[in-house]
Amino acid sequence: MKRLFLTLATVLISVSAMADEGMWLLPYLQKMNIKDMKSKGCRLSAEDIYSINKNSIKDAIVIFGNGCTGEVVSDKGLLFTNHHCGYGSIQALSSVEHDYLKYGFWANNHSEEIPAPGLTVRFIRQISDVTAQIVGNIPANAAEVERNKIVAENVKNLQKELKKQNEGKEILVKSFFGGNQFFAFVIETFKDIRLVGTPPSSIGKFGGETDNWMWPRHTGDFSVFRIYADKDNNPAEYSKDNVPYKAEMYLKVSLKGYKEGDFAMVMGFPGSTQRYMTSYEIDDMLSVSNPNRIYIRGERQAILKKDMAASDKVRIQYASKYARSSNYWKNSIGMSRGLKRLDVKSKKAAQEAEFTAWASQFTLADDPRYAEALPLIKGAVEGKSAIDHDLQYLQEAFLTAVEIITPARMVDKVMNSPQTISGDGATKRLVAQLKGWYKDYNTATDRKVAKRMLAIARENMKVLPSIYEVIDRDFGGNIDAYVDNLYDNSIFADEAKILEAVQSHTSEQILADPVQALRQSVVVMYNKLTKERKPFVAQYAEGHRLYIDGLMKMHPEKAWASDANFTIRLTYGNVLPYTPQDGVRYSYYTTLKGVMEKENPENPVEFFVPEKLKELYAASDYGRYANKRGELPVAFLSNLDITGGNSGSPILNGKGELIGLAFDGNWEAMSGDVAFEPELQRCIGVDVRYVLFIIEKFAGAKWLIDELEIVR
């Protein structure tokens, strides 16, 4: 195994990246990327971008919340990210009386900045290659189960060691290249994050669901937050005594703009790609996981959308939930379309045929056993396909969609016996959690969703949860009657009743609630299927690891990039237009003129233009944010390799200055997470000049502009 590690390291550092594809690991920029980056127009050194000895661009990039990227843009901890990344916090802080989603919000000074409970910002303080420590002692002939045990034990021991050296910080050890390489990340988490400003959704979500993943785009997808620390500049829980974080590294903001062909790069936290996916997995995605997700979420979203349109209260309650659901729903539609249209399966099959021929030189007695890689993957995918189908329904249609199950789970977590709820402190925390949850819950909406979800689950699952036996026995198979009885009689359908039960410690009533029977039937089946799935997961992991290792050895001349796994990466390329089909060529940027052209009174939810924005456009009152042609740029394209998690990532020019915020990919290349399409794949970003224009001219928050270091 030590021999394998050394070979892998040689493959990784012996070549230069020669394509726009790649979410590159920062420690290897000097050896793998910087020469190619400079040829494309980068004017920085690798040390300027990532350094273990001094502040670098890496130190201004953060994990925002649980699934986005943000960037520090001032020495006072001011932070930019996407509007859709801040959306959950903006929604949580909104009410019918203070509708920040509809009208936006802008603080006039530090004292008006609003704490966002539960929101965190995480800095990567240190990165180290720990492959030798994790796999160096694995016997060459170790079976996969034994290998996994050794890896898990080594990870545990390394985390303990690094925690001693980095008190108060999180230690994350992640695998790369299918488990062939490992990196350790030292992370510092700040928990006092405050909302500074957000445009109204008519700007931040302009185009809505219709324009999502589409180009041309005219969305001002940004929001502004601030990191707070204690008086010693250390992370701290929220306190009125906390002060703005003193950032040693922050991004300068460029008003120079860009032209076609200019160098651009993104640093951020891409969530997940499957570039080493096989043709067998593509078949499964197209026939099982994507159709299920599209159907289940589509049915639920139709109900939510109708109720949201009928009530401002419900609209605010479900805005973030709907946005999270619909984003990946549309992604799945585009992914399936792209995989078929670009015939990605055939390309994967061709690679597999080449690999099979190459692997035939190795006997089954050899280590590694490359010839076994693809058969292992194929068998695992086929073995778990039916299990995954039902698991997806349990997760999507029950545990996510039927919301009344959630408070039952929350209560169960703090119950330490059938008789009582654990301690007064635990009770107080639970009450606070429940109040926060019920703020964004509407019983009538959930009742409608539950009826539809239980119906489609019955129609499509191969094996049903045991609750259907109750439905058949006690309600003659009538799902609507069962659901009505459930919501009419459950204390979880009424916030006041469940809070009273929790505070009075009447656990018998909680345990006997009909929602518990529903939840238990789902959880029991979910756990059973998960256990049945485990052998196939292990089999797949072994095949996947061997396949990736073999591919890199088969083509040692190629620059290989690891799949995204929500660790910090850099991607680079150029500002470029694209041609999606014959006779159509898209420009590489859009302007405010397009916002006015898209206004649609018949679709005011998605294409409403605020009156003040119209006035600024009519007067061409763009200040210093117009381009040389007198236009106000809104969004632009670059051929950067991004995916979910990169939302909010800074788009930087060759000097490392901020020119935009990445917020989307393009519809024609939705299969890009599986196969990068260099001629089609584009990163869509909001131009930082539009961001600053909205802050200063539209919102009148010039004090924030004055805080930035702006260069021309």
The torsion angles phi and psi of 105, rounded to 5 degrees, stand at: -155, 140
Structure confidence at residue 304 as a pLDDT band (50, 70, 90): very high
- The H or E element spanning position 114 is strand 114-115
Measured from the Cβ of residue 337, the count of other Cβ atoms closer than 10 Å reads: 15
pLDDT of residue 140: 83
| pLDDT tens digit sequence for 153-176 | 999 999 999 999 999 999 999 999
**How large is the average pLDDT for residues 463-475?**
98
pLDDT: which is higher, 425 or 466? 466
Which pLDDT does position 13 carry in this prediction?
A: 41
Reported as a pLDDT band with limits 50, 70 and 90, residue 442 is: very high
For residue 20, pLDDT over 90 is answered with no
Report, as an integer, the average pLDDT of 607-615: 98
Per-residue pLDDT tens over the stretch 540-584: 999 999 999 999 999 999 989 999 999 999 999 999 999 999 999
Averaged pLDDT score across all residues of the chain:
94
Residue 3 has pLDDT above 50, yes or no: no
Smallest CA-to-CA distance from 499 within 443, 444, 432, 445 is with 432
Residue 228 pLDDT class (50, 70, 90 cuts): very high
**What was the pLDDT predicted at 427?**
87
- Arithmetic mean of pLDDT, 661-672: 96
pLDDT at 6 over 70: no
> Is 312 marked active-site?
no
* Average pLDDT value for residue range 220-230: 98
The pLDDT assigned to 421 comes to: 52
pLDDT of residue 36: 96
Q: What is the pLDDT of residue 712?
A: 85
Q: pTM of the entire structure?
A: 0.93
What is the reported pLDDT for 418? 45
The confidence band for 93, taking pLDDT boundaries of 50, 70 and 90, is: very high
Taking a C-beta distance cutoff of 8 angstroms, is the pair 278, 374 a contact? yes
Contact 24, 561 (CB under 8 A): yes
Using CA atoms of 612, 618, 623, 629 in order, give the dihedral in degrees to the nearest 10.
140
Mean pLDDT of 703-707: 98
> Which of 20, 83, 84, 336 is the catalytic position?
84
- Please say if 221 is a catalytic residue: yes
What separation in angstroms does the CA of 704 have from each of 75, 196, 580, 589? 12, 9, 39, 26
pLDDT for the residue 141: 82
Paired strand residues for 61: 71
Per annotation, catalytic residue among 20, 129, 221, 446: 221
What number is the average pLDDT over the span 206-212? 96
Residue 484 has pLDDT above 70, yes or no: yes
Quote the CA–CA distance of 662 and 560 in Å, as a whole number: 24
Provide the pLDDT confidence category of residue 446 given band limits of 50, 70 and 90: very high
Calpha distance 176→383 (Å, rounded)? 25
pLDDT tens across 339-350, in order?
999 999 999 999
Give the per-residue pLDDT at 423.
Answer: 57
- What confidence score (pLDDT) does residue 4 get? 40
CA-CA distance, 699 to 610, in Å (whole number)?
12
Q: What percent of the chain has pLDDT over 70?
A: 95
> Is beta strand 121-129 parallel, antiparallel or unpaired with respect to 170-176?
unpaired
Per-residue pLDDT, 272: 96
pLDDT tens digit sequence for 108-135: 999 999 999 999 999 999 999 999 999 9
List, for residues 356-396, the tens digit of each pLDDT value.
Answer: 999 998 876 676 789 999 999 999 999 999 999 999 999 99
| Catalytic annotation present for 201 | no
Task: List Cβ neighbours of 218 (8 Å cut-off, separation of 6 or more).
Answer: 206, 207, 211, 590, 592, 594, 595, 598, 634, 635
As beta bridge partners, residue 590 has 635
Question: Which residue among 647, 649, 671, 687 is the active-site one?
Answer: 647
